Amino acid sequence: MTGRHSLRRTWWKTSLGIVFTAIMLFPAYWMLNASFTRTGDLRADPPHWFPWDPTFEGYQAVFDQQLAALGTSLFVGLGSVLLTVAIAAPAGYALALLHLRGGRALNFLLLVAQMIPAVVMAMGFYAVYNNLGLLNSVWGLIIADSTIAVPFGVLLFTAFMSGIPHELLQAARVDGAGAWRTFRSIVLPVSRNSVLTVSLFAFLWAWSDFIFASTLNRNGDFIPITLSIYNYIGNNTTQWNAIMATAVVASVPAAVLLVVAQRYVAAGVVAGAVKD
């Protein structure tokens, strides 16, 4: 009797989870459905819940018009990853293992930095970039996007590296390795999960950024896909299948990365949570 009651309660929770999941994923499904729907059927009443007469004209428009923007987003995302890891990993190492003075105060400032709204940072970047000549440049966008990921990366690296066994570091010192050699040869390889986690979040933040792109690179020669979709909607309100196809294609890299790297992300996020 108890087993039957437990099974019934499990089915109730499972059904509720399926309903909530379907509600949250419905916009993604409708985006995919509209991307295959012909232009004349997009305003059908009742709407077509499934593309019975699918077309690939939207995806053809994507590859004809949006490849440059996709390439720009890929370049900005990879550039943000490299810059974020290059700054955050040594900083986390210094805070966790080199016992710098003012480390706690710096950790607090990093937490505060994550609370600053992106639109406030964008206005500050605009004033600085206007003086430095970095407006409407891809390099300026990479730097701006990295500022979102660096505080998170430093905190994550600090938490993980604090749990590295001190015996490894002492063995390196005995062998004559300095702080930089220890970081490159021992600490960084051991921190692989954290590197992958920080890289993934840095890429996703840069890939999905719109505020920095619309503020700092609106008139640039190369614009990211988020700004390109925004401009495409403003210039063309008839080919919604092409707009939705662009959104689908822009969502694929993020979805693939999350699926492939989820095991490493889970390990990296909880790293340092348990101390011996």
Task: State which amino acid sits at residue 201.
Answer: F
Residue 16, domain member (yes or no)? yes
Q: Which residues make Cβ contacts (< 8 Å) with residue 37, sequence separation at least 6?
A: 48, 51, 54, 55, 241
> Rounded to 5, what percent of the chain is helix, strand, coil?
80, 0, 20
**CB–CB of 190/97 below 8 Å?**
no
Phi, psi angles (nearest 5°) of residue 136? 60, 35
Same domain flag for 213 and 247:
yes
Number of domains in the chain: 2
| Gap between the Cα atoms of 271 and 25, Å rounded | 30
How many angstroms separate the Cα of 152 from the Cα of each of 120, 137, 208, 245, 265? 18, 25, 17, 32, 14
Residue 68 lies in a domain: yes
Q: Choose among 276, 265, 275: nearest CA to 156.
A: 265
Domain co-membership, 119 together with 17: no
Both 111 and 223 in a single domain?
A: yes
Q: What is the pLDDT of residue 75?
A: 94
Residues 208 and 263 in one domain: yes
Q: Which long-range contacts (CB under 8 A, 24 or more apart) does 42-50 make?
A: 42/240, 42/241
Q: List the CATH number of the domain containing 247.
A: 1.10.3720.10
Structure tokens at 204: 């996703």
Q: Are residues 190 and 108 in the same domain?
A: yes
What pLDDT is recorded for position 76? 94
Provide the residue-wise pLDDT of the chain in tens; the chain has 276 residues. 455 555 566 777 788 888 888 888 888 888 888 888 877 777 776 777 877 778 888 888 888 888 888 899 999 999 999 999 999 999 888 888 877 777 778 878 887 877 888 888 888 888 898 888 888 889 999 999 999 899 989 988 888 888 888 888 788 787 777 778 888 888 888 888 888 889 988 998 999 899 999 888 888 788 898 888 888 776 666 677 888 888 888 888 888 887 777 666 655 555 544 444
Instruction: State residue 6's pLDDT score.
Output: 57
Taking only Cα atoms into account, the Rg of the chain, rounded to an integer number of angstroms, comes to: 23
Q: Residue 224: helix, strand or coil by DSSP? A: coil
Is 74 a domain residue? yes
pLDDT for 146 equals: 92
Domain that includes residue 86, residue range:
59-269
Residue 182 tokens, joined: 């220890």
227 with 175, same domain: the answer is: yes
Please check whether residue 276 lies inside any domain of the structure: no
Q: Between the CA of residue 125 and those of 211, 214, 218, what are the distances in Å?
A: 11, 12, 14
Q: Are residues 99 and 190 in the same domain?
A: yes
Burial of 221 (0-12, 13-18, 19+ CB in 10 A): exposed
In a domain, 201, yes or no: yes
Same domain, 76 and 18: no
For residues 65 and 270, what is the distance between their CA atoms, to the nearest angstrom? Answer: 41
> What sign does the dihedral 224-225-226-232 (CA atoms) show?
positive
**Has this prediction a pTM greater than 0.85?**
no
Do 255 and 142 reside in the same domain of the chain?
Answer: yes
Asked if residue 82 and residue 23 are part of one domain, the reply reads no
Residue 168 covered by a domain: yes
Query: Do 30 and 118 fall into the same domain?
Result: no
pLDDT, position 274: 45
Nearest partner of 89 among 166, 249, 199, judged by Cα:
199
In terms of Cα–Cα distance, which of 245, 241, 246, 254 is closest to 227?
246
Instruction: Kindly state whether residue 107 falls inside one of the protein's structural domains.
Output: yes
Question: Do the beta carbons of residue 95 and residue 106 sit within 8 Å?
Answer: yes
Q: Collapse the DSSP code of 49 into the 3-class scheme (helix H, G, I; strand E, B; otherwise coil) and give the result.
A: coil
Give the C-alpha separation, 193 to 159, whole Å: 12
Does 131 share its domain with 11?
no
User: Would residue 44 count as lying in a domain?
Assistant: no
